[in-house]
Amino acid sequence: MIVGRQPGGGAAGERAQEISFSEVCVGALDDTPTGDVYRPILTDVNLTMTESMTTIIGANGSGKSTLLQLFNGLVTADSGRVLIDGLDPLEQGKQVRSRVGFVFTDPAAQLVMPTPLEDIELSLRKRVPKSQRRDTALSVLDELGIADLADRSVYELSGGQRQLVALAAVLAVDPQILVLDEPTTLLDLRNKEKLRTVLADLVARRGVRVIFSTHDLDFAGLADRALVVDSGRVVHDANPAEATRAYRELIMSDST
């Protein structure tokens, strides 16, 4: 089982809180022949998020990944303010990172040990006594239905299997908020449906809040709320059916 927390989104008795973005802007300095030029990546993002599951959709380069990385301080705002359950990633980064688990699109960015079992044991090193780590790690792998991969070389796994192992390693540390950047990209239909079940279960039984980006508009329907990002701005905020319809219209208008 995943250790350390009671169902309901936090420690026993903890009140559910919210994520807020206030006038958030993020950019980068591009080196040009005439000097550094500021390039906006996100502009004037204002959000209050309390839903159990939110999806973010948008074209490549729209700013989705940067928006996701603000949730755990992988990226910090140039201006405005981000608060994660009342915590500022700039000032309380360690507390935010302990609260927010992040799963990258490319699992190679996360898997550092030779086998899935060793990778999850590494994730558990600060939370679980050494004598209990193997059993706990096996329980996490079993919960995702991939215990048979425990002692395989990560280099022998398919992209989809690696993605599920990366998810298991993040879940092992029991995040209160789970952020996934395009988690279905490497998954076949069977593993995509497995992921759908896992995320719904995390929300229903453990109170984990889930935020994910995706190009899979059918998978986006799993969420309670959908944000459409275009050119660094949140241009639509609705239920998934309305948001995907608006996104399709946006793409069609850009292509004509």
List all residues 6 or more positions away from 60 whose beta carbon is below 8 Å from its beta carbon: none
The Cα–Cα gap between 256 and 250 comes to: 10
Q: What is the pTM of this model?
A: 0.88
Tell me what pLDDT residue 85 has: 94
In a domain, 3, yes or no: no
Count of domains for the chain: 1
Q: Token match 């995509």: residue?
A: 192
In a domain, 5, yes or no: no
In a domain, 129, yes or no: yes
pLDDT tens profile 88-104:
999 998 999 989 999 99
pLDDT tens profile 50-86:
999 999 999 999 999 999 999 999 999 999 999 999 9
Q: Token match 């030779």: residue?
A: 114
CATH number, domain containing residue 108:
3.40.50.300
Q: Are strands 35-49 and 19-32 parallel, antiparallel or unpaired?
A: antiparallel
Q: Token match 């994660």: residue?
A: 84
In a domain, 10, yes or no: no
In a domain, 86, yes or no: yes
In a domain, 108, yes or no: yes
User: Residue 105 sits in which domain range?
Assistant: 19-255
pLDDT tens profile 15-27:
448 999 999 999 9
In a domain, 7, yes or no: no
- Closest by CA position to 119, among listed 97, 95, 146: 146
H-run or E-run covering 128: none
Sheet containing 209-213: order of strands: 100-103, 177-181, 209-213, 53-57, 225-230, 233-238
H-run or E-run covering 95: helix 93-99
